[in-house]
Structure 1
């Protein structure tokens, strides 16, 4: 089966993922913009049984706009945010698509927090768009 490897800048924190992600989400919320330093976050969501994590992390936790608990895992050496957990997505890991550094990675399958999307950001045609967060997402409907 296909294996994909995500890692931080210094390679001290790695995530091995089996197969393709269940879904790939663009998030335009202001918290993701600030965390990534980009116009949006691009996260690949994998079921926990398809993920193997190696390396130490520092964790930043916050409560999202709709009460969702989020835990972001950063490499303590280089500071890169490689993966995160969301209370509404129990049993899944969000992995930073950029950490895979793979030009053939699957494209986004949904877009969240559209109201904060930069006007110049283009969303792939035909994917579902939402004004809110992952709390209404059922991963079983995305594979």
Structure 2
């Protein structure tokens, strides 16, 4: 991916929210928990962890709040028109963004999971490469 250049632009499904990723994600996590399966309507969700300063988001967003079993609060930001989840954050650590819409970027080559979490709840057909970190639960 040495030919991948930042910034990389993207937008939600309907185009009302746009974003620019200015630097590579710190890590890319595939979460296999049942909640992420519901959220993504797929076998897992992908989250790119980025510094808040490394992403620019334009457009109106709606929010949802959820408290995890750990007690951590997650605030989800999504497009009010198409419903695409754009990002999440923990209000106690707003400098770190959990970018959920990396699949909407114009170039998605950086979205390669470096870690898989909640593998204890993964779908049986999902095969995780041996050289990628795996955790039965949240890290």
Alignment TM class, shorter chain as reference? 0.7 to 0.9
Q: Is the 8 A contact 2:103 2:111 kept in 1?
A: no
Distance apart, 1:105 and its partner CA: 2.5
Partner of 1:74 in structure 2? 78
Distance apart, 1:12 and its partner CA: 0.8
Alignment equivalent of 1:84, drawn from 81, 88, 94: 88
Give matches, 1:54-69, under 5 Å: 54-69=58-73
Partner of 1:10 in structure 2? 14
The superposition leaves residues 15-72 of structure 1 with CA deviations (integer Å, 9 ceiling, x where unpaired) of 2111210000000111111111111001111101111110111111101121111111
Segments of structure 1 that go 5 or more residues without pairing to the other structure are 137-143
Give matches, 1:12-27, under 5 Å: 12-27=16-31
In the aligned structure 2, how far is the partner of 1:65 from the partner of 1:39?
21
Q: Is the 8 A contact 1:72 1:81 kept in 2?
A: yes
Q: Is the 8 A contact 1:108 1:124 kept in 2?
A: no
What CA RMSD, in Å, does the superposition of the two structures yield over aligned residues? Answer: 1.8
Aligned residues: 134
- Output the TM-score relative to the length of structure 2: 0.86
1:127 aligns with 2:135: no
Change (3 A) 1:84 1:108: same
- Output the TM-score relative to the length of structure 1: 0.84
Change (3 A) 1:88 1:32: farther
Segments of structure 2 that go 5 or more residues without pairing to the other structure are none
